[in-house]
Each structure stands twice: as structure tokens, then as C-alpha cells.
Amino acid sequence: MRSPWRFFIIIEALLAVFLLWQVSSNPPVLVMVVFGILNIYWGLRKNRRRKFQLILGSLILIICLVNSPATWLMLIFAILFLGLKGVEIAGVSFPSYSFKNKKQMIIVATENPTEHQGEKKKQSWFGNDRIGNQVFEWDDINVDLFAGDTIVDLGNTLLPKEDSVVIIRKVFGRTRILVPYGVGILFEHATFYGKVHFEDEEISLKNESLKMYSDDYDDSPRRIKLITNSLLGDVEVIRV
């Protein structure tokens, strides 16, 4: 997404809704929460005489909230996000295997085809790997991530005269795909919430899927199929 703080607020708001649902679905806990809030309210109105009510209400509210998994999820996500954001502001550098380095650049080049063999490749959850910088022969791209910003640069390669495929699946994060002019594009995207930028169009999606073609798709000798899926995040397809 364009703003990490907007992403943070959306996740925390969703977790807060989950917390409210948990509290409201448990009548004893709901009664205790209401009782705690009323005690805090009375204690604040007459704080000099009713400090006991303020302390009692705060303790009741804290005990009720810490027993909810949603509260712990909110705290864990806030600590991780604020901690990583603080490291980013401080300019601290991590090794390549750290999930903080979530910017991913995929650069692909080609050479004459060689004999193909199967392979097994380890993938990172947080998109901190550089995929394709040592691969010279074009091969279809299949990336699975949990979170992180991904950049797929196809400007340094010559795609074969056939249909090529790029598949990117992730939970959170922004995706940018750079495609050379003269390559026809079939773009498919599904997301819970996010925006799509394609061929000078900007489309907002809310639990929707989208299928689009470039203007030159039918006439292009080289075509690429872009398939992306995400829970939250924007996708951009840019001509280079």
C-alpha cells in the first residue's frame, strides 16, 4: 500500500472489530467490561473521592481484555510494526535474510535454452530474496510471500515468442511489475482490498477479482500472463 501507516491503521481496526465481536459474544465478559467502564467513568467524575472505583474499573477492564486473543494480536502487530518502522527511520541495516528487508527486486535475463531439469527452491515469507539476478534463461516466475513489497522487472530480458507466466501470491504488501513495450499483457488479480494500476487506469477492488488485457495483446508476438493474489495491497503494471 502507498502508506504503511494506513496499512497499520486498517489492520488494527480489523483486530479491534474482532475484539468487539469476542467481547459481545461472551455475556459474562461483556457485563464485566461494562461494569469496569462505568467504574472508570464514576471515578473520573469524582477522582478525589473515588480513586478506588477508578483503580477497580481499570483492573477489571484490563483483566477482561488480556483474556482475549484479539488484544494480544493487536499488541504483537503494533510492536512488530512500530519496531520495524523505528529501525527503518534509524537507518539500521540487516543481512539479506532478515524479514525487515522486504523490498524485493526480480531481474531476469536470457541466454540460449539449455537442457531442463526439475529443481526445488526455498522461498522467503517476507520477500527479502533477490530472485532472478543469476538466472540467464527465461523461466516462468512463481512467487509466494507472506508480506512485503515486490518489484518484478522484465525490462532486462527478451521474452520468448510464446505465452509466459508470472504468478505472485501474498497476504500483505505492494506489487509492481515492469513490462517492456511490445509485449501483450493478460492481467488477472484478486484481492480483499486494494487498488490496481493498469494501462493508465486505476481501479479499486473490495473482495473482487479482475481480468484485463492490454490494447496490443491480440497482435503481439510475445505475450505474458500476470496472475496476482493478495489480501491487502496495491498492484501496478508499468510499461518500461
pLDDT in tens, the chain (240 residues): 446 777 778 888 888 888 888 888 888 888 888 888 887 777 777 655 567 777 887 888 888 888 888 888 888 888 887 776 655 544 444 444 444 445 555 555 555 555 555 555 555 555 544 444 444 456 778 888 877 788 888 876 777 777 888 999 888 888 888 888 888 999 999 998 889 999 888 999 988 899 999 988 888 888 999 999 988 889 999 888
Residues 160 and 202 in one domain: yes
Helix (H, G, I), strand (E, B) or coil at 165: strand
23 inside domain: yes
Residues 218 and 147 in one domain: yes
Residues 181 and 76 in one domain: no
- How far is CA 237 from its chain centroid? 17
What is the total residue count of the chain? 240
Residue 236 has a pLDDT of 92
99 inside domain: no
* Distance from C-alpha of 143 to C-alpha of 150, rounded to nearest angstrom: 10
Residue 226 has a pLDDT of 93
Residue 212 has a pLDDT of 92
Angle at 125 between CA 122 and CA 237, to 5 degrees: 100
Residue 99 has a pLDDT of 45
Residue 88 has a pLDDT of 53
Range of the domain at 129: 104-113+121-239
* Residue 141 · residue 108 · CB < 8 Å: yes
Residues 215 and 148 in one domain: yes
Residues 46 and 146 in one domain: no
Q: Identify any residues that bridge with 225 across adjacent strands, giving them in sequence order.
A: 165, 186
44 inside domain: yes
Q: Which amino acid, 197?
A: H
67 inside domain: yes
Report pTM: 0.50
Residue 44 has a pLDDT of 75
97 inside domain: no
Residues 174 and 197 in one domain: yes
Residues 84 and 126 in one domain: no
72 inside domain: yes
Residues 108 and 219 in one domain: yes
* Distance from C-alpha of 149 to C-alpha of 167, rounded to nearest angstrom: 15
Residues 54 and 11 in one domain: yes
For CA atoms 195, 196, 201, 207, give the dihedral sign.
negative
Q: E strands along 81-182, which residues?
A: 104-107, 141-144, 150-153, 163-169, 175-179
Residues 219 and 132 in one domain: yes
* Residue 57 · residue 51 · CB < 8 Å: no
Residue 91 has a pLDDT of 46
Indicate the number of domains in the chain. Answer: 2
